Structure 1
C-alpha cells in the first residue's frame, strides 16, 4: 500500500525542498521506493526530464535523492515568473501559456485535475510519496482554489507536517499563528510540526518546543540544526544563490540579474576548492580582479539586458575584455553577448529589436517554440564528452557560430570570438561533467580533481543522516496515510 505525507512550511524558504530531499534519501536507505511530488512550484530554475518536459529543479534533486529519473508527474504545475507580466504556466511538463496572477487564480480549479492525475500516476510507482507544499498555508487570501497546500492535501487526503524556520526568528509565532488563522478543517490535516535551521544549543529550545505542542496540540517531530553542507547541493530559489568565497585561486564573477534562471550551472564551480564564485548584487560594480565573467541564463533576456546596462555592468564587462579577461554566456547570457536580439512576436514584451552587448558576432531571434531536451555533446577541440540540457526560446546565428566550440551530432553548438576568450552556449549542465570542467578550468590555469556527482551524492547521504539524527522518522512514516492508489 502506497503511503504519502506532505511537508508544508510556515513561509517560503523555510527549507522544505531540502527536507524532502533528505527524507527521500533516508527512507530509500530504509528500503522503501520513494517519489517526490510538488503540486505547484514557482521557479525559473527548471530541469529537463527524460519524458521531454520540465519541472522545478528542486524536484529533480529530490528525484536524485530517491535514485529515480525526474518525471513531469513530480511537478505537474510549474510557474515561471516573467517580470511584472505574470508567469508562464507549465502543465505536466509543457507550456500552456502565460497568465497574470488574477487570471491564474481563475484557472487553478481546472489545474487541480491535472495535479491529482499526476499524483495518482506517481503513487502507483512508489511505496512512499513525499509531497512538498509551496509558500505557506497561512496565506489565507490565496486559499480559495488552492492547489499547492491545503487545497491539495484535502483533495488527495494527504496528512501534513508543518515546518517552521527558527533562523529567521519568531518560530513559535510562525507555527502557532498558522493554526490560529487557517480553517479548522485545514488545521485538522496537520499531524505534527518540526523546527528547522537551528543554530546553537538545541536544549535551550526545549521549552519552546513544548509550548508549540501545548498551544497547537501537534506533536513535535524534531528540531533540526542548520545543515552545513547545503551549499554543496544545487539551489532552487534565487534567494539561495550566494557567493562562495575563497582566498586565492580562480575568481569567477556572476552579475545577479533580476530574472536569472538555471543558475545551478554555478554549483559545480562553487564546489571547486580553488575557485571563488562571486555573485554581484545590483548596485555594485563587477570587480576588476575577475578571471572569468559568467552571464547566466535568464527567463527574460531583454529585460535582464536592460538591467545589466542600468547597473553599468556593460561598461565593467567591456573593461574586463580589454584586460584580456575571459567571458562565458550561457543561454540568455549567450544571447546578450551578441549584436542584437529580435523579438518579432512580442514574447518578452512589445515586439521589436534591441542592441546586444556586441562582443560576439551573432544575433538572436526569439521564437514562440521552446527548444527543450537532454543533449549530449563533445568539445570541438578537446574531444571531451559532455551531457546537459537545452531549455530556451530563440535561434542564434552569425559568423562566430562557425567557431562553435561544442559539437552536437553533426552541428556546431554555441559561438566564440576569434581569440576564443568570449564564448556562448545554450547547453546547461556542462560543468557537472568532471572531465569537461577540469579541461575548462585548465585553460584558466586551475587544476580540478573534484568528483562533482560523488560530492552531491555524499551531501545527500549526509543530509539523510542529519535528519535521521534530529527527526523522529519512525513517527513521520507512521503518520503517512495510504495514498489514492496502491502500488500496482
Structure 2
C-alpha cells in the first residue's frame, strides 16, 4: 500500500517545490517508487506532458527527480494568471474556462473529486506520494472549499510537515503563527517542521529550532542550509527569476520584464554559459545596449505588448535592431514581433486587433484552441537538433514564416526570421536547453558555448540537492510520518 506525506508552507516561495524534488530523488535512491502531487497550482510556468496536457513546471521537475514521465494527475488543477483579477483554469491538463478572482472559492467546490481521483491513481502505482501544498497554509480566509492545503489533507487523510523560510526573516513567528491561527482539527494534521535556506552557522539557530518545537509541539525535522546549486533548477515563481544570478560574460543578453511572463525557464540555460551576461530589465528602466534581446513567453500577449509600449521599450527595440542587434521572440514574444495580433474571439479580452512591433513580416490570429505538443526538429539553416514543446493559442503566418522559417519540425515549419537574419521568432519552448541548438544561436552572436544539454545540468543539481537533504533532513523520520493512503 502506498504512503503519502504533504509538505505545506508558511507562505509562497518558501522552497516547497525544491524540497519535494530533492526528497523525491533521495527516496528514489533508497529504492522507493515515488510520485509527486500538487492538488492545485498557480503558475504561468508550465510543462507539456506526454499524455497531451499541461501541468506546473515544478511538478514536471519533481517527476524527473522521481525518474518518471510527468502526467496530468501530478497537478490536476492549474491556474494560469492572466492579470490581476482572473486566471485560466486548467483541469487535468486541459483548459476548462476563465475564472475571476472573486470566484476562486466557489469554483473549487466541484474540483475536490477530480483532485482525489488523480491522487488515488498516482498512489496506485507507487510506494510514496509526496504532496506539495500551495501558498500559505495559514490563509484561513481561503479555507472553505480548499483543495490546495488543509482541505486536501483532511479529505485525503494525509499528514503534514510545515516548511518555513529563514532567509526572509521572522521564521519563528511564521511557524508559530501558523500553528496559532489554524483550526484545531487542521493543526492536528501537522507533525513536524523544516526550516529552509539557512545562511551562516546552523548552530546559531539551534535555540530557534527548540523554540519553534516548544511553541508548536511539532517535531524538528531539519535545518536546511542554502544550496547554491538550487539555482540550476527551473524556478516556478517569476520572482525567483529576478532574484537569480546573471553571468559576467562578454556577450550581453537583455530580457524586458513583462507582467505576464510565462515559461521563463527558457532563459535558464543562458545563465550557465560563461560567455553570456544575462540582464533582466525591470520596468521603469531603459533597455541597455546589448547583443541580443529576448522577448519570452507571455500568458497575455496583448496586455504585455501594451505594457512594453507604455515602458517605451518598443522604441528601444527598434533602435537596437537598427544598430545591428539581434532579437529572439519565443511564443508570445514571437507574436509581439509581428505586424499585428488579432483576437477576433476575445480570447484575451475585448475582441480586436492591435499593431505588433513590426520587426517580423508575420501576423498572428489568436484562437480558443490550445496547441500542446512535445516537438523535435532542426534549427535552420544550421541543421542542429532541436527539442522542446509548443504551448500556445494562436496561428502565426506571413512572408518571413513562409520564406524563412526558424525551425523545421518535420511535420511543419515553425517560426520566422528576417532577411538580415538578426530577428528570430519561434513557438518552440525549450529551444535553448538543447546544447546543439544553443551553440548555433550563440555562435550567431559571436559567443562560445560548451554545447551541453541543460538536462544534464538539472540532473546534477537534483543529485546534489538530494545529497544535501540527506545530510540536513531526518528523512527516516519523514518516512515514518507518511501514512498509508486510504483506498478510494
**TM-score of the two chains, using structure 1 as the length reference:** 0.98
1:273 partnered with 2:274 = yes
Partner of 1:10: 10
Partner of 1:94: 94
What is the CA–CA distance in structure 1 between the aligned matches of 2:473 and 2:432, rounded to whole Å? 34
1:84 Cα deviation from its structure 2 partner: 3.0
Work out the number of aligned pairs and report it.
Answer: 485
For 1:69-84, list aligned pairs within 5 A: 69-84=69-84
1:68 Cα deviation from its structure 2 partner: 0.5
What do the CA deviations read for 1:168-226 (whole angstroms, capped 9, x no partner)? 11111101100100100000000100100111111011111101111111110011011
For the Cα contact (< 8 Å) 2:247–2:271, is it kept in 1?
no
Q: Which of these residues, 445, 458, 461, is aligned with residue 460 of structure 2?
A: 458
What is the CA–CA distance in structure 1 between the aligned matches of 2:486 and 2:357, rounded to whole Å? 53
For 1:345-424, list aligned pairs within 5 A: 345-402=345-402, 403-424=404-425
What is the CA–CA distance in structure 1 between the aligned matches of 2:121 and 2:279, rounded to whole Å? 42
1:244 Cα deviation from its structure 2 partner: 3.4
What do the CA deviations read for 1:398-417 (whole angstroms, capped 9, x no partner)? 11112102111242210111
What do the CA deviations read for 1:323-347 (whole angstroms, capped 9, x no partner)? 1000000000000000111111111
What is the CA–CA distance in structure 2 between the aligned matches of 1:148 and 1:428, rounded to whole Å? 28
1:320 partnered with 2:320 = yes
RMSD: 1.1
Partner of 2:253: 252
For the Cα contact (< 8 Å) 2:260–2:299, is it kept in 1?
yes
For the Cα contact (< 8 Å) 1:123–1:484, is it kept in 2?
no
1:369 Cα deviation from its structure 2 partner: 0.6
Partner of 1:202: 202
1:72 Cα deviation from its structure 2 partner: 0.3
- Distance 1:224-1:37 versus aligned 2 partners, 3 A rule: same
What do the CA deviations read for 1:276-333 (whole angstroms, capped 9, x no partner)? 1111111111101x11000000000000001101111111111110110000000000
Partner of 1:237: 237
Partner of 1:439: 440
Q: Structure 1 unaligned segments of length 5 or more: list them.
A: none
Q: Structure 1: which 4+ aligned runs deviate by more than 6 Å? A: none
SS at 2:204 equivalent:
helix
Partner of 2:479: 477
- Distance 1:414-1:145 versus aligned 2 partners, 3 A rule: same
SS at 1:241 equivalent:
helix
For 1:86-235, list aligned pairs within 5 A: 86-235=86-235
For the Cα contact (< 8 Å) 1:6–1:132, is it kept in 2?
yes
What do the CA deviations read for 1:415-461 (whole angstroms, capped 9, x no partner)? 11111100100000111111111111122111211522221111100
